[in-house]
Chains A and B, each alone.
Chain A
């Protein structure tokens, strides 16, 4: 994890910076800001600069949620205003300045925590979450206007100004630098990858062993706490806070545009965006002092921003920055070549033999349609079981019941000795269940190797890169939206081989691939089983999997109709009538 994300410009992309370089750039920024003379530069004096820094602070404080997670949570304005009000109340109550600032942190965190808990309970996302945030801001604004203890519509004024404008400036510089440093650490950490992945496919994140709900709660609470502190600084800057100053929607528009024009989920993108939207206009209007010029400059900057956004849209690689892997390609190739076998022996608690995967009497209906009826079977460690059946037989539903994305109406699922029937998907993944999907679900915001690193088991950059190259995927540092179908399938397989699961579930892994490509995938399936995993392969292409599997179970209309060695099952008259049409000659299939 040594890289920083940069705005989506190919020039920078090729020269991805390490965490060290990002730190050096940040130190440079700190020096420049501290060196600003009281009179300022380009007609920007320190109080004006403080205003720009406060916008940058809001932008970076909101970025973990608004940019990385991609939730356009307007409700963070309430955290910002809450921090401001809490700070002024504390100052007026005679509390010291550090304490008054500190009290804003839990206020912001609690507001954000309540918002995310409510959104989670009510299952609000996307535009609905945004709509909820909008109403919350309006409601907060109206309530604050009614409450005399918060100053009503007039707002709350500090009885004393505890900080001079210079003090606020230095505090704002320190806070902004700390926020950018936090973003560097976040975006170069595994947690940062998970949050980026959540933006693409929250359900898929569950199957990598992370809880989307918990991660979202952490992101909101962190961002809310930072917004609270930012709001406190904002209030101390002018010694005043009101609903019209701290709860106005225009406050969040610049951060929103700055993040999405600069590059969401990047380290420097928000700063570039703030420079474009706030810095340039301040310089231009400061130089002219004319309202007409201010409008013209604002118009020009919005047009430039629109051009940037349109160009980004036109670019096929709309990716918000990537990194250059720290693993030299040749070194990774060498490692891949010597990595035999590709799949490590499965580790089990206590070092014993892994336990079987067991389904007991699982049943599932959707409305009036019974999809699965009283299905029971086992997959032993080291065994490969093929699950076949016609369309609509219930194969994928059964797969999802085992995976945890669907709960059965009755029956149990056991992973080893643990009954996981009511476990969430991510808990099953943590226990050792790995799976692939019918349509490969690759996180578009991450590079190919980052897709492997995002697993809850600690997969290093080196291991991820070499695993992908061993699977024939070149340039694993590429954006995943450039990958072919085979490469996307290999990323899914790579997730299993780098962190070998005790129970592996593969849903139609051969779909859409050529016969040669089937062999590549099936070889990895064999290796998983050889490492001791219980492997269940759902597939339509019976001749392709028959030579590889130990048993075939046939599902028809939600019921098992056969279970046994491939040679027997594929000649079974019931199976032939229900599904195959004619017996399959295994010797021919293998040939």
Chain B
């Protein structure tokens, strides 16, 4: 059970990075980006190219992956996703699924369809009596540090408040002089950078294939929807997804039953969300009804 708990927590760092990246793009820039999963795959392949083909140390390759991946991401945002912003979520889903399909085929042509692993010597660290790969543990701590930093920035700084306002009230934000389009661009690229980083980190333990993108984005969508676009909710749902699956699989002694269990938990969370919101809207009114109106006899 300890192994299930520790490995589940370690895996949740990856889910945090991809789901918070997806959530930021949706919540602030109002873009449903199904090509997000391909960004993870791009991060994986870029890390493989830097480390395997260029002989770069893994530690140097990881930040370079982010820098190299942001350039095409910026171009895609400017020429494809920004125009799709005002077309509604349905059209954005179609555009980004097309983009995902195109990127998958480009990866397949460039790298082949076989599994590719990164050439680094595996080293294990012992955490709470459990041996885990060094990169997996580092990935978790990097993910938590980045997510915490971003949370603080978005919650407590002027920049973060500007981003929040630009996402919720774009017209009002423009009227007070906020550079709304630039803020959207920054947030989109921040989300992309987190996802590229997730790809560069996860490739240390999992091999890359071109067709993993859809699987990754589905996990990001599930976590984001269950968290109802909340920053802390995404972090909690990522932890639940990682730990919940590992623990349930251990309890039932079956990965398949672990999958069923975690999906049931997520169905309940997704379905209960709107009902809880509706209920919470009624509660203050009922409380208020008990309080006499000012001036009432």
- On A, residues with C-beta under 8 Å from B are 70, 72, 118, 121-124, 126-128, 130-132, 134-136, 138-139, 142-143, 145-146, 249-250, 253, 256-257, 260-261, 264, 295-296, 298-299, 302-303, 305-306, 309-310, 313-314, 318, 365-368, 370, 373, 409
Q: How far is the CA of A476 from the CA of B26 in the complex (A)?
A: 37
Interface pair B259/A135, CB less than 8 Å apart: no
Q: How far is the CA of A257 from the CA of B102 in the complex (A)?
A: 13
- Smallest Cβ-Cβ distance to A363: which chain B residue: B293
Known A118-B271, A135-B267, A142-B263; contact A365-B256, beta-carbon cutoff 8 A = no
Cβ-based interface call for B47 (8 A): no
Which residues of the partner chain A approach B94 to less than 8 Å between Cβ atoms? 256-257, 260-261, 309
Interface pair B98/A122, CB less than 8 Å apart: no
Interface pair B97/A138, CB less than 8 Å apart: no
The listed residue (A70, A145, A305) touching B90 by CB distance below 8 A is A70
Q: From residue A179, how far is it (CB to closest CB) to chain B in Å?
A: 22
Q: How far is the CA of A260 from the CA of B95 in the complex (A)?
A: 9
Q: How far is the CA of A132 from the CA of B275 in the complex (A)?
A: 14
Interface pair B90/A72, CB less than 8 Å apart: yes
Taking CB atoms and an 8 Å cut-off, the chain B residues in 260-291 that contact chain A are 260, 263-264, 266-267, 270-275, 278, 284-285, 288-289, 291
Q: From residue B293, how far is it (CB to closest CB) to chain A in Å?
A: 5
Interface pair B284/A135, CB less than 8 Å apart: no
Cβ-based interface call for B214 (8 A): yes
The listed residue (A72, A131, A143, A253) touching B260 by CB distance below 8 A is A143
Cβ-based interface call for B106 (8 A): yes
Q: From residue A88, how far is it (CB to closest CB) to chain B in Å?
A: 22
Instruction: Sample 10 A-B pairs with CB under 8 A, ordered by A number.
Output: A70-B90, A122-B270, A128-B225, A128-B274, A131-B226, A135-B266, A253-B101, A295-B105, A302-B101, A313-B95
- Smallest Cβ-Cβ distance to B215: which chain A residue: A249
Interface pair B90/A260, CB less than 8 Å apart: yes
Which residues of the partner chain B approach A298 to less than 8 Å between Cβ atoms? 101, 105
Which residues of the partner chain A approach B225 to less than 8 Å between Cβ atoms? 127-128, 130-132
- On B, residues with C-beta under 8 Å from A are 26, 32, 80, 83-84, 87, 89-91, 93-95, 97-99, 101-102, 105-106, 108-109, 214, 218, 221-222, 224-226, 256-257, 259-260, 263-264, 266-267, 270-275, 278, 284-285, 288-289, 291, 293
Which residues of the partner chain B approach A130 to less than 8 Å between Cβ atoms? 93, 221, 225
Which residues of the partner chain A approach B214 to less than 8 Å between Cβ atoms? 249-250
Known A124-B270, A127-B89; contact A306-B288, beta-carbon cutoff 8 A = no
Which residues of the partner chain A approach B98 to less than 8 Å between Cβ atoms? 257, 302, 305-306, 309
Interface pair A295/B80, CB less than 8 Å apart: no
The listed residue (B80, B97, B266) touching A310 by CB distance below 8 A is B80
- Smallest Cβ-Cβ distance to A304: which chain B residue: B98
Interface pair B102/A367, CB less than 8 Å apart: no
Interface pair B102/A303, CB less than 8 Å apart: yes
Which residues of the partner chain A approach B260 to less than 8 Å between Cβ atoms? 139, 142-143, 146
- Smallest Cβ-Cβ distance to A152: which chain B residue: B256
Which residues of the partner chain B approach A257 to less than 8 Å between Cβ atoms? 94, 97-98
The listed residue (B93, B109, B289, B291) touching A295 by CB distance below 8 A is B109
Q: How far is the CA of A110 from the CA of B25 in the complex (A)?
A: 36
Which of A135, A250, A298 is packed against the most chain B CB atoms within 10 Å?
A: A135
12 further A-B pairs in the complex, CB-CB below 8 A; given A249-B214, A302-B101, A368-B284: A124-B271, A127-B32, A131-B226, A134-B221, A135-B270, A139-B263, A145-B256, A249-B218, A298-B105, A310-B83, A365-B288, A368-B288
Q: From residue A298, how far is it (CB to closest CB) to chain B in Å?
A: 6
Q: From residue A141, how far is it (CB to closest CB) to chain B in Å?
A: 9
Interface pair B97/A409, CB less than 8 Å apart: no
- Smallest Cβ-Cβ distance to B101: which chain A residue: A302
The listed residue (B93, B224, B266) touching A72 by CB distance below 8 A is B93
Q: From residue A582, how far is it (CB to closest CB) to chain B in Å?
A: 28
The listed residue (A123, A136, A310) touching B267 by CB distance below 8 A is A136
Q: From residue A198, how far is it (CB to closest CB) to chain B in Å?
A: 13
- Smallest Cβ-Cβ distance to A128: which chain B residue: B225
Which residues of the partner chain B approach A306 to less than 8 Å between Cβ atoms? 80, 95, 98-99, 102
Known A123-B275, A135-B266, A146-B256; contact A313-B91, beta-carbon cutoff 8 A = yes
Which residues of the partner chain B approach A70 to less than 8 Å between Cβ atoms? 90
Which residues of the partner chain A approach B32 to less than 8 Å between Cβ atoms? 127
Which residues of the partner chain B approach A256 to less than 8 Å between Cβ atoms? 93-94, 97
- Smallest Cβ-Cβ distance to B284: which chain A residue: A367
Q: From residue B30, how far is it (CB to closest CB) to chain A in Å?
A: 11
Q: How far is the CA of A154 from the CA of B293 in the complex (A)?
A: 67
Q: From residue B226, how far is it (CB to closest CB) to chain A in Å?
A: 7
Interface pair A299/B102, CB less than 8 Å apart: yes
Which residues of the partner chain B approach A365 to less than 8 Å between Cβ atoms? 285, 288-289
Q: How far is the CA of A124 from the CA of B291 in the complex (A)?
A: 33
Q: How far is the CA of A72 from the CA of B92 in the complex (A)?
A: 12
Which residues of the partner chain B approach A302 to less than 8 Å between Cβ atoms? 98, 101-102, 105
Interface pair A139/B264, CB less than 8 Å apart: yes
Which residues of the partner chain A approach B266 to less than 8 Å between Cβ atoms? 135
Q: From residue B272, how far is it (CB to closest CB) to chain A in Å?
A: 7
Known A138-B263, A365-B289; contact A260-B91, beta-carbon cutoff 8 A = yes
Interface pair B102/A132, CB less than 8 Å apart: no
Interface pair B87/A313, CB less than 8 Å apart: yes
Which residues of the partner chain B approach A367 to less than 8 Å between Cβ atoms? 284-285, 288
Interface pair B270/A126, CB less than 8 Å apart: no
Closest 3 CB pairs of A and B: A131-B225, A123-B274, A122-B271
Which residues of the partner chain B approach A139 to less than 8 Å between Cβ atoms? 260, 263-264, 267
Q: From residue B74, how far is it (CB to closest CB) to chain A in Å?
A: 18
Which residues of the partner chain B approach A127 to less than 8 Å between Cβ atoms? 26, 32, 89, 221, 225
Interface pair A313/B273, CB less than 8 Å apart: no
Which residues of the partner chain B approach A146 to less than 8 Å between Cβ atoms? 256-257, 260
Which residues of the partner chain B approach A134 to less than 8 Å between Cβ atoms? 218, 221-222
